[in-house]
Amino acid sequence: MVTETFGDMLFTPGPECLKEFPSPDSLQKRVLISTKPPKEYLESKSIKEKGSVSQKGNDPAEEEAWGKEVPDPKLKIEADDKTDPNVEEDSEDEEDQDDGDRKQTTEPKYKSLIAIHAGKPKGGLEEALKVDPNKVRRLSLSEPALEKAAITHGTDIVRFTQRNILRVYPKGTRFNSSNYNPHIGWMHGAQMVAFNMQGYGRSLWLMHGMFTSNGGCGYVKKPDFLLNGKANEVFDPTASLPVKKILKVKVYMGEGWYLDFQHTHFDAYSPPDFYARVGIAGVPADTLMKKTKTVEDNWAPVWDEEFEFPLTVPELALLRVEVHEYDMSEKDDFGGQTCLPLSELRPGIRAVPLYSRKGEKYKCVKVLMRFEFVTV
């Protein structure tokens, strides 16, 4: 059915495994299958059924109105997570086992259609991250498994992703559709960082911001240092690196809330008290958030403040902009947000449009800002 459905669009590697991945350009308008071969799938399914354990989530039940703050990329081991990071917890490709006769006839044909083999070799994480010069493959790690692995095998993960595909996905206990910090995967070279796209909040805003690059086509090329590394010069996301650039951001003013919001949305009896938060999301050394003063009783606040952000890895950095309305008695109200890749940022004075929690662009709300890059 697969061959009948996709026809010539289906990319197949032939009888042997791929030795290296084709370029994205050569795969335009093609369909690839990436999954575990039938034998490996059945073995891993059997192991999971025998060793499955229940887990409890420890995420707060209630987040702030605009979403929980993005976790700091300084990696930490979660005390209550007892999942073995050496085990692939992937739940994909689950289906009922067919009868034996049909399985024997379809397995060789089905296996020949798999362009990118998924799965984890026996022997634990070190074995899984070994690079085979004669074969490329895909490895899947859950969010906590990646966080733990990055502490002890950070450069090994980067080296693995230079030839192979790494997929990261949210832990199963995120029952409220919350998300994790995608930068942990991106700065280690992961090509597929799976998200709960219905989990609106700061983590998803970063995802939206990253993929505004390259015309918003859904594909962003990794920086060269994550693609081409020499044997003894593999990028280490946690290493102390010299500052490459300094980004100067001046926040002049904002406007448009009077037109896009009901006049009693923020305060029933007086104009809103707006403040802005500006910062960088990126590698641990670059991650920082700063805040302007609060301008009271004004629908068009003028902040006129300037901030500087030293950047060691500007290629992976996103500029975060948020506006909130200060509320003395309750939680501050959300007034808009945006995330901008520094690679797409142009120097000069810009009217930056803001977006809702769901990533929908406001018609009128904008913040007037100036950007300047200083090379160190």
For 78, residues 6+ apart whose C-beta sits below 8 A from its C-beta are: 58, 144, 147
pLDDT at 64: 44
Query: Domain 245-375: which CATH class?
Result: mainly beta
pLDDT at 349: 98
Of 214, 213, 238, nearest in space to 339 by CA: 213
Q: Residue 315: beta bridge partners?
A: none
pLDDT at 96: 38
Pick the CATH number of 118-236 from 3.30.300.30, 3.40.50.300, 3.20.20.190, 3.30.56.10: 3.20.20.190
At 226, the amino acid letter reads L
pLDDT at 50: 53
Q: How many Cβ atoms are within 10 Å of 141's Cβ, its own excluded?
A: 29
Domains of the chain, by residue range, sit at 118-236, 245-375
Mutual angle of helices 38-51 and 100-113, in 10-degree steps: 110
Query: Is-contact 317 246, C-beta < 8 A?
Result: no
Measuring CA to CA, how many Å separate 70 from each of 7, 153, 180, 316?
43, 23, 7, 16
pLDDT at 3: 87
- The DSSP secondary-structure symbol of 96 reads -
Distance CA 83, CA 92 (A): 18
pLDDT at 26: 87
Q: What is the pLDDT of residues 39-74, one digit of tens each?
A: 655 555 555 555 544 444 444 433 443 456 776 665
pLDDT at 47: 54
Q: What is the pTM of this model?
A: 0.81
Distance CA 58, CA 144 (A): 13
pLDDT at 104: 53
Mean pLDDT, consecutive 10-residue stretches, the chain (376 aa), reads: 89 79 87 81 56 43 51 52 45 42 60 83 84 90 94 94 94 93 96 93 95 91 86 85 97 98 94 98 96 98 98 97 93 96 96 97 98 96
Is beta strand 288-291 parallel, antiparallel or unpaired with respect to 274-281? antiparallel
Query: Is-contact 345 372, C-beta < 8 A?
Result: no
Distance CA 283, CA 243 (A): 12
Query: Is-contact 141 180, C-beta < 8 A?
Result: no
Can you say whether the dihedral through the CA atoms of 42, 95, 142, 2 is positive or negative?
positive
Q: What is the pLDDT of residues 313-372, one digit of tens each?
A: 999 999 999 999 999 888 999 999 999 999 999 999 999 999 999 999 999 999 999 999
